[in-house]
């Protein structure tokens, strides 16, 4: 019989019972549900709303219930309606009438909102930690590859010379923003809804700040109707997860391309690849492909959450229950994806010869040749045209800018001198890009230092 069923003439049907139950997703929240109840019981006792002896008895029994679930002595009943009901019933079974005092000045509506917040906040801390680990690995690899020349692409066409360090640090910038977004989502999550009661507050002299403080939350809600139905923090969290997953997916897509035979820039260790059942030569980077696909599920969950929320009146509606699974699944997938990606990138090596070789084709130094003329007073657009003509000549003669003769240069513009060859040298092209955040090794060193500083401040 349900906790709330005393005024009902009929039990709910079996199909309705299953349909209505949230116990599967709730099982993840038993520890935080008990944490919230302990804070509430302490507050009730402290405020004299229930007796101190009773409050202590409730707290002790709740602690034992938690220990018993932790150790497996007490199994969560898969037929329970939800975790709040299960724990309150277990409490009353253990300590009798005193247990029935716990729900004074409280409602499951506020309780579930609190549980999701406590649970999400803890999971966000783990996500922040795991993103830190990834950033640390990428910055360390960048530090070892400051002079590893590779082509930089736009539109996936060869553009200008960069280094593997500069390339890796572009992802570090993205993951740093993700970490900051997780922190912001965590701040919005850590607001205590306890004290909103069902929707309108309570006549009892509760101390909301005391409960919030016990739970480590810095803020309390403003409006009790909003407090029980606010799931903005869940949207913020899944949005932050989505953004991180976009970045993981983009990076994974690059790993698929760069580890192909045609590029051969990266070698992913066998530990993250699989073979084919029919083609003996195959080595597929399945980890990267799966990471690319996993992201889609997070975006879908975010849209589903928006769709659930969009028609709801203020205060609790059962629709809200459905957002919980979407949130938890998104957290699980993202956390696992982060672990797999970090392990995979740790085990991925750049093939520096292939990278350098690719950088010496595709006229990556064309802009340097144009800049050379600009430094001699030619307006950039004219310099651009002169170098375009040179490239046309080079393509016709199957040459590169390095192998064109000085006479060919001079025919294009008398301003070219022998020092053009030093200017278009790949290493020079690289070290010349020394504007803020640019590809020059010294600038990338700065980026690494800045990233490490930012990381320690998050």
Options 147, 214, 273, 321; binder of ligand ARG; rule CB under 6 A: 321
348 SS3 class: strand
- Rounded Cα distance, 95 and 36, in Å: 19
Residues in 13-32 at the binding interface with ligand ARG, rule: CB under 6 A: 22
Question: At closest approach, how far in Å is the CB of 317 from ligand ARG?
Answer: 9
- Alpha-carbon distance of 118 to 400, in angstroms, equals 61
For the bound state, the minimum distance from the C-beta of residue 353 to ligand ARG, rounded and expressed in Å, comes to 57
Total of residues contacting ligand ARG (CB under 6 A)? 10
- Per CB under 6 A, the segment of 31-39, 69-77, 133-141, 318-326 that binds ligand ARG is 318-326
17 is catalytic: no
Q: Cα(261)–Cα(299) distance, rounded to whole angstroms?
A: 31
The residue among 98, 106, 102, 105 whose CA lies nearest residue 54 is 98
First to last CA, the chain: 48
- Asked whether the beta carbons of 116 and 29 are under 8 A apart, the reply is yes
Point out which span in 88-96, 297-305, 306-314, 315-323 binds ligand ARG (CB under 6 A): 315-323
Q: Which is nearer to ligand ARG, 196 or 291 (CB)?
A: 196
Nearest approach in angstroms of CB 336 to ligand ARG is 24
- In whole angstroms, the minimum distance from the beta carbon of 311 to ligand ARG comes to 17
Residues of span 83-112 touching ligand ARG by CB under 6 A = 108-109, 112
Site map 275..314 versus ligand ARG, x via CB under 6 A: ----------------------------------------
Q: Which is nearer to ligand ARG, 3 or 411 (CB)?
A: 3
> To the nearest whole angstrom, how small is the minimum distance from the Cβ of residue 324 to ligand ARG?
6
Binding-site member from 316, 328, 341, 372 for ligand ARG (CB under 6 A): 316
Whether 276 sits among the annotated catalytic residues: the reply is: yes
Q: In whole angstroms, how close is the CB of 86 to ligand ARG at the nearest point?
A: 11
Nearer Cβ to ligand ARG, position 23 or 411? 23
Q: How far is the CB of 108 from ligand ARG (least distance, A)?
A: 4
What is the spatial distance between Cα 168 and Cα 447, in angstroms, rounded to a whole number?
Answer: 11
Six-digit token string for 101: 């005092």
Instruction: Give, in degrees to the nearest 5, the angle at Cα 396 between 390 and 402.
Output: 50
Q: Which of 269, 276, 339, 388 is catalytic?
A: 276
444 closest CA partner among 143, 176, 152, 137: 143
Of 82 and 230, nearer to ligand ARG (C-beta) is 82
Q: Which of 155, 277, 435, 436 is an active site residue?
A: 155
β-strand 266-268 against 219-220: which pairing, if any? unpaired
| Minimum CB–partner distance for residue 303 and ligand ARG (Å) | 20
DSSP three-state, residue 90: helix
- Return d(Cα 246, Cα 341) in angstroms, integer: 13
Q: Return the structure tokens found at 110.
A: 């506020």
Instruction: Identify which of residues 299 and 316 has a Cβ nearer to ligand ARG in the complex.
Output: 316
Question: What minimum distance in Å lies between the beta carbon of 262 and ligand ARG?
Answer: 51
Q: Which stretch binds ligand ARG (CB under 6 A): 53-61, 187-195, 316-324, 332-340?
A: 316-324
| Locus of tokens 């590859």 | 145
Looking at the Cβ atoms of 12 and 208, the one nearer to ligand ARG is 12
Closest to ligand ARG by CB, 238 or 320: 320
The verdict on 224 binding ligand ARG (CB under 6 A) reads: no
| DSSP per-residue string spanning 243-264 | HHHHHHHHHHHHHHHHTSTTT-
Whether 218 and 190 have beta carbons less than 8 Å apart is answered as: yes
Q: Which is nearer to ligand ARG, 108 or 188 (CB)?
A: 108
In angstroms, the CA 238 to CA 282 distance is: 36
Burial of residue 435 (number of CB atoms within 10 Å: 0-12, 13-18, 19+): exposed
Question: Quick count: other Cβ atoms within 10 Å of Cβ 60?
Answer: 14
Residue 393 near ligand ARG by CB under 6 A: no
Specify the residue for token string 């099982």. Answer: 27
Enumerate long-range contacts of 259-267, CB under 8 Å, 24 or more apart.
Answer: 259/285, 259/288, 259/348, 263/354, 263/358, 264/351, 264/354, 265/150, 265/350, 265/351, 265/354, 265/355, 265/358, 266/348, 266/349, 266/350, 266/351, 267/348, 267/349, 267/351
82 forms part of the interface with ligand ARG (CB under 6 A): yes
Spatial separation of the C-alpha atoms in residues 388 and 385, rounded to whole Å: 5
Report the residue number, 109 or 249, with the smaller CB distance to ligand ARG. 109
State both tokens at 401: 């800018």
Give the interface with ligand ARG as residue ranges (CB under 6 A): 22, 82, 108-109, 112, 316, 318, 320-321, 324
Known catalytic residues?
155, 276
């Amino acid at each position: 019989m349900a906790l709330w069923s005393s005024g009902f003439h009929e039990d709910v049907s079996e199909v309705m019972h299953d349909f209505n139950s949230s116990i599967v997703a709730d099982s993840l929240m038993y520890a935080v549900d008990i944490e919230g109840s302990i804070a509430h019981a302490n507050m009730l006792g402290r405020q004299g709303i229930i007796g101190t002896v009773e409050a202590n008895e409730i707290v002790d029994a709740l602690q034992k219930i938690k220990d018993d679930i932790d150790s497996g002595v007490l199994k969560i009943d898969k037929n329970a309606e939800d975790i709040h009901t299960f724990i309150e019933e277990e409490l009353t079974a253990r300590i009798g009438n005193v247990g029935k005092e716990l729900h004074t000045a409280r409602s499951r509506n506020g309780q579930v909102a609190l549980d999701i917040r406590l649970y999400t906040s803890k999971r966000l801390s783990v996500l922040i930690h795991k993103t830190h680990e990834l950033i640390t690995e990428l910055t360390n690899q960048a530090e070892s590859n400051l002079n590893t020349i590779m082509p930089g692409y736009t539109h996936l066409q060869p553009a200008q010379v960069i280094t593997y360090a500069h390339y890796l640090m572009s992802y570090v910038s993205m993951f740093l923003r993700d970490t900051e977004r997780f922190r912001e989502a965590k701040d919005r999550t850590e607001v205590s809804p306890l004290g909103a009661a069902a929707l309108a507050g309570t006549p009892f002299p509760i101390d909301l700040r005391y409960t919030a403080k016990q739970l480590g939350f810095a803020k309390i809600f403003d409006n009790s109707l909003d407090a029980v139905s606010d799931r903005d923090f869940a949207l913020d969290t899944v949005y932050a997860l989505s953004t991180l997953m976009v970045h993981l997916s983009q990076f994974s897509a690059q790993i698929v391309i760069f580890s192909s035979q045609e590029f051969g820039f990266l070698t992913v260790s066998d530990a993250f690849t699989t073979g084919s059942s029919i083609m003996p030569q195959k080595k597929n980077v399945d980890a990267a492909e799966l990471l690319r696909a996993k992201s889609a599920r997070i975006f879908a969950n975010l849209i589903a959450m928006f769709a659930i929320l969009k028609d709801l009146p203020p205060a609790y509606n059962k629709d809200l229950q459905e957002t919980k699974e979407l949130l938890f699944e998104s957290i699980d997938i993202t956390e696992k994806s982060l672990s797999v990606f970090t392990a995979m990138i740790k085990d991925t090596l750049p093939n520096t010869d292939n990278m350098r070789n690719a950088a010496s084709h595709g006229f990556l130094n064309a802009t340097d040749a144009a800049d050379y003329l600009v430094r001699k007073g030619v307006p950039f657009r004219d310099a651009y045209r002169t170098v375009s003509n040179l490239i046309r000549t080079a393509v016709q003669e199957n040459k590169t800018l390095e192998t064109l003769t000085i006479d060919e240069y001079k025919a294009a513009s008398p301003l070219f001198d022998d020092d053009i060859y030093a200017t278009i040298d790949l290493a020079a092209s690289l070290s010349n890009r020394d504007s803020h955040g640019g590809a020059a090794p010294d600038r990338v060193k700065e980026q690494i230092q800045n990233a490490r500083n930012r990381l320690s401040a998050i």
